[in-house]
Amino acid sequence: MSGELEAAAHGLSGRLLIQAATSAAVWVERNAAALDAINVFPVPDGDTGTNLSLTLWAAARGVAEESGSSDAPSLTEVAAALARAALLGARGNSGVILSQWLRGLAEAVEGAETVEGSALGTALGAAAVSAAGAISNPREGTMVTVAEAVGEAVATVEAGAEPQAVIERALAAARVAVAKTPEQMPLLAEAGVVDAGGEGLALVLQGMLQGLTGEPLPAVPIDAGRIDEAWLSRAEATTAEGRYGFCTEFNVIGNGLEGARLKEALSEVGDSVVVAGSAELLHAHVHTLEPEAAFAMGERYGQVSDRKADDMHEQHTQVRSGTGNAAAVAVVAVAAGDGFAALFQELGATVVDGGHTFNPDAASLLEAARTTGAQDVIVLPGHRNVIPAAEQAAALSEGARMHVVPTTSMPAGVAALLAWGEGASPEETVAEMTNAHQQIVTGAVAHAARTVQAPVPLREGQPFALIEDKPIAGGDSTEHALTVLIEELRARQPQSSLLTLYAGDEPSAEAAAAVRAGAGAGLDVEVVVGGQPHYPFIVSLE
């Protein structure tokens, strides 16, 4: 955490809630592996910490996008943005419950500029009620139980108590409740651990408290213990292949949605059903042997998106072997356009959507790096404007070591990925990728947004060629500008042997003719539909 922190003496404000949420995201991320290591309920799939971390970072990123640019965002706006972003980005049982907890908090503070004392206590109580409402059959000794204990503990705080005093009491109650979870659920006692979700909520509160006080977070993660090996062996022996099924999740968008009805329907195809959200947006979670049947249930109610089905038997096997999902080296690439995104994915990269502005923030890159589970993550920014955010993400990363290969175009990212050798060390991979992307020269065709005289004269709407983001000439047509671009690229790099044309849409016959005219002899030509916005054509020579 850096920068000047807002004081909490006058209640919980919007800006202060952002500080608290960001601090919580950092602290939970730092302890994600510790939570994963004690995850046994509802199944020992080793992902509670990861899911809580991803959900919190989705919430933090959502607030940054919706409210973070304001000097004084309202508490109502921030709390609502946190809840909505957490719901959209919720992962796993614990993530959905956390998103519903945040929703209850948001609803309780709606309309308030700040809250303190008893009002904040009431909001935490409402958060617990909301979290419990997401579960079909809440059990004692879980994250919901800890949330309820927190709500009860702060129900009687005095009206003028400062926010940090309320969260201190909440955290103390959470720690006591977490310690009791093995007494409440025999499964936990047999496995020799406390509930991972409950411990996760305690970490959320601890992170929030540090954010409120401005004190630095501990440098060392907590020691949450380990699952008893004998219990794991027995669980493995009594679990048939595939019995755990799939951790299945999706969002439903519509009007007049009823979470209770969707919960009831999903209970017919699986268990561990959690449904959270509103009449316009629901996030559903279910453990089932039939993910497609669960998706079909959602389609009865509205438009289904963000489908996910993780094989829990495979996850359990990884927990048992201690291997987890981690790869040695992973790559995160920023892409704009369905074609480019698909190409990057085919080459093994995790893709961050650059959107029309090609300006993803550091939080988006950090979240993508975390999802890879890798020890080392290489980031391909794809545009000079993204390099600062990538470098910031690398500096902030608490888990994976992040390395930035400063690609300034998406074709350069493709070249870098093609140089990615299996088994190479992170340092070797960075060196190979850096060398590969420096061997290509890239240009594009765009249309002038306004009339200008420099660096080249252009009329508003006129097609023009640019190389490395610098305009070089206007064109009479898009195809003419493309011909000029290719000729100039060839003049700058005459030794090249491969020309790749990335089209925003399916290229026309005129565009194909322009490529042939500009390429001339001695070049292999490839045409790819990149689907990129703003640029009808992007061209690379290598």
pLDDT tens digits for range 8-58? 456 899 889 998 998 898 899 888 888 988 888 766 666 788 889 888 888
What's the confidence (pLDDT) of residue 68? Answer: 46
- Check if the beta carbon of residue 86 is closer than 8 Å to that of residue 129: no
User: What DSSP line would sit under 409-442, residue for residue?
Assistant: SHHHHHHHHHT--TT--HHHHHHHHHHHHTT-EE
Helix (H, G, I), strand (E, B) or coil at 529: strand
pLDDT at 315: 53
Contact yes or no for 300/268 (Cβ under 8 A): no
Cβ–Cβ < 8 Å for 251, 88: yes
To which residue do tokens 């305009």 refer? 471
- Entry pTM: 0.56
> What does the H/E/C string look like for 232-284?
HHHHHHCCCCCCCCEEEEEEEECCCCCHHHHHHHHCCCEEEEEEEECCCEEEE
Distances (CA, A) of 519 to 474, 476, 477, 514, 526: 19, 19, 18, 8, 11
Q: DSSP 3-state assignment of 62? A: helix
User: Which of 258, 269, 267, 264 is CA-nearest to residue 292?
Assistant: 269
What does the alpha-carbon distance between residue 143 and residue 35 come to, in Å, rounded to a whole number? 12
Q: What angle do CA 33, 39, 42 make, to 5 degrees?
A: 150
Looking at residue 135, the DSSP 8-state letter turns out to be B
CA distance 39 to 386: 36
Q: Classify residue 456 as exposed, middle or buried by CB count within 10 Å of its CB (0-12, 13-18, 19+).
A: middle
Please tell me the distance from the alpha carbon of residue 501 to that of residue 200, in angstroms, as a whole number: 49
* Type of residue found at 344: F
Please give the Cα distance from 488 to 475 (Å, whole number). 13
**What span, in angstroms and rounded, lies between the C-alpha atoms of 322 and 229?**
11
Q: For residue range 441-497, list pLDDT tens digits in order.
A: 999 999 988 888 888 898 999 999 999 888 999 989 988 999 899 889 888 888 887
In a structure prediction context, what are the per-residue pLDDT tens digits for the chain, which is 542 residues long?
A: 333 344 445 689 988 999 899 889 889 988 888 898 888 876 666 678 888 988 888 888 788 776 545 667 899 999 999 999 888 888 888 888 999 999 999 999 999 888 888 899 999 999 999 988 877 677 898 999 999 999 999 998 888 889 999 999 999 999 999 999 999 999 899 889 999 999 999 999 999 999 898 888 887 788 888 888 787 776 655 554 445 578 788 889 888 888 888 888 888 888 778 887 888 888 888 888 888 888 998 898 888 888 887 766 555 455 444 444 445 788 999 998 888 888 888 788 888 888 777 778 888 888 888 777 788 999 999 998 889 888 888 888 877 889 999 999 999 999 999 888 766 788 988 999 999 898 889 999 999 888 888 888 989 999 999 998 889 999 899 889 998 998 898 888 888 878 888 988 877 777 777 777 666 666 778 888 888 888 999 999 88
- Compute the distance between CA of residue 440 and CA of residue 399 in angstroms, rounded to an integer: 32
